[in-house]
Amino acid sequence: MNGPIACRLLEVAIHRRAEPAGDEVGRDAASQPGSAVAGRRQEAETSPAAADEDGGESSDQRAAARPAQAGPRRGTRPVEDQVGDLRRRLAKRFKHLSRWARRQGIEAFRIYDRDIPEIPLVIDWYAGWLHAAEYDRPHERTEIEHDVWLDRMVEAAAAELGVPPARTILKVRRRQRGGEQYEKVGERGTTLWITEGGLQFEVNLSDYLDTGLFLDHRQTRAMVRAEAEGRRFLNLFSYTGSFSVYAAAGGATETVSVDLSNTYLDWTRTNLAKNGFKDAGRHRTVRDEARAFLEHRARRGEPRFDLVVCDPPTFSRSAKSETAWDVERDHAEMLDLVARNLAPGGIVYFSTNFRRFHLAEERLAAAFTIREITARTIPEDFRNERIHRAWRLVAR
């Protein structure tokens, strides 16, 4: 007799990876197309710079690789203990936030943001759907064990909130290597319309790393709406145009949305039209690199803008630019160009989710009065006060 043999039973979820399809020219790690995977699981890469961001679609959104690595022990408590902690936390947060969201007229909000360190998930609610992303931390699980653990956490979250599996989407992020760029993978097309501030926005929960609406900028959008009446509005790095929709709703005489992605510009036009802003002459979309657009207008002496939003990526590269964009290095030059296209007293909302960012205030002081407004722009549902930073600049 050899004695008893220790055994373990692991239930393993097998996810087939889809092959890349299409060529997206996108925003950055915060909004580029991700990799759709069968079984409502997605894996996407995150650039080294974006790893210092914090997510939204974010926004962001921006995790490291999932394989086990050296570091402090995490996730060693029994899984069912973690499940219980997660369910209790979700129940408490959802009870509060669902009431708050109804009062605010909001259908999409963040429920959970790594509240329990050993369960590093971000979970957002989209009108009865759950959108979850993993922000990995060192652990001692094998890849298979971790897949089982991750599926168990997401299943528990969905069960606690009464969301069926078919309406639950999980995204996993891994670090981008070298100069690789994001591509869209798959065509699941899990899209829906959500309401925010009396306006409607299309979100795609399945096909991209982010959904099309950065929830952490909800307050900033409201600020833009409040200042838009009678003003000419410019939206740089416009993504899906949510700021443009808010500006139009606030009474802007003109909106111009500038982005390099045809996909996102089409999305912008869809969002504008859904909210009744169908006049392409008043609400223009422009496919261009932001600096080139500003330089061209300044040279031609075209009419200046009164209100500008500039929410650039941390890092990106495109075929239309000889050099890659780096927000720390390039933001001052960008804002100098904005100043050349801004009417006297014009307003700029500038934001970034790069945690180590330093605004070049000394260089910009001649052109703008500058005030950081970060605290005013963090919504009720975001516990992470470092999700982004924001400034309001007024042309001298």
Which residue, among 284, 187, 298, has the nearest Cα to 238 in the 3D structure?
284
In a domain, 8, yes or no: no
pLDDT digits (tens, 9 = 90+) for 26-78: 334 434 433 333 335 555 544 444 444 444 434 333 333 333 333 334 446 89
Distance of CA 277 to the CA centre of its chain: 24
Q: What's the CATH number where 282 sits?
A: 3.40.50.150
HSE, side-chain direction, 13 A CA sphere, residue 282: 16
- Spatial CA neighbour of 59 closest among 26, 30, 95: 30
Q: Are residues 380 and 298 in the same domain?
A: yes
Q: Indicate if 171 and 251 belong to the same structural domain.
A: no
Asked if residue 301 has pLDDT above 80, the reply is yes
pLDDT digits (tens, 9 = 90+) for 120-142: 999 999 999 999 999 767 788 99
Tally the domains of the chain. 2
- Enclosing domain of residue 249: 214-395
Q: Is the pLDDT of residue 322 over 80?
A: no
Tokens describing residue 304: 């200046």
Measured in degrees and rounded to the nearest 5, phi and psi for residue 123 equal: -125, 125
Which one-letter DSSP state was computed for residue 303?
A: P
- pLDDT above 90: residue 320: no
Residue whose structure tokens are 């970060």: 374
Residue 241 sits in the same domain as residue 366: yes
Give 193's contacts (C-beta < 8 A, 6+ positions apart): 200, 201, 202, 203, 274
- Regarding whether 143 and 272 lie in a shared domain, the answer is no
Q: Give the Cα-Cα-Cα angle 317, 137, 26 (nearest 5 degrees).
A: 20
Instruction: Average the pLDDT over each of 41-50, 315-324, 349-358 and give the range with the smallest value.
Output: 41-50
> Within a domain: residue 119?
yes
Indicate if 157 and 91 belong to the same structural domain. yes
At which of 125, 153, 175 does a domain end?
A: 175
Residues 139 and 271 in one domain: no
Rounded Cα distance, 129 and 278, in Å: 29
- Give the mean model confidence (pLDDT) for residues 357-381: 98
